[in-house]
Amino acid sequence: MDKLEPAKDDEIIVLLENIYNRLSNSSTTAAISPNFAPAPHIVAASAFLYASLALLLVIALMCMLVKGWNRDFDRGLTHDTVPEERARKREYRIRGLIRYKLPIIVSALPILLQISLILFCVGLMFLLFHTDQRIT
């Protein structure tokens, strides 16, 4: 996304024109770099791509948390020899997972991943459709 800032060549050309004008006529004023504004499609594409990346990082964090919670769920249950005690601990842990909405979080992860993919595709389409007109 190097189109979010002015090209270095443009700044060099402006400076060289300023030097040429000063050498040929000493009464010229200093050159002012032209104001740069990135194209709206570049800004939109960048916004979609960065939103996709941010959402993907949140999803990765949530996946690691869910993996840790699932690993901790089974930890220590096999060491209990009394079935009633094992069942009591397991029920306590299941209630905790339900209280912290783990089933909802797990079911939301694929949906969030699909939203991230859609954001990425929209950003890519913004970038590609304005880069080469033969695509449209």
Summarize pLDDT for 14-50 with one digit per residue, the tens: 777 777 777 777 565 655 666 777 888 889 999 999 9
Contact 123, 52 (CB under 8 A): yes
Domain boundaries in the chain? 1-38, 39-136
pTM: 0.69
Residue 29 φ then ψ, to 5°: -90, 170
Could you report the per-residue pLDDT of 90-111, keeping only the tens digit for each?
Answer: 898 899 889 989 999 999 999 9
Q: What share of the chain is helix, strand, coil (3-state, %, to 5)?
A: 75, 0, 25
Contacts of residues 97-103 at CB distance under 8 Å and 24 or more positions apart, as own/partner, are 97/69, 97/73, 102/66, 102/69
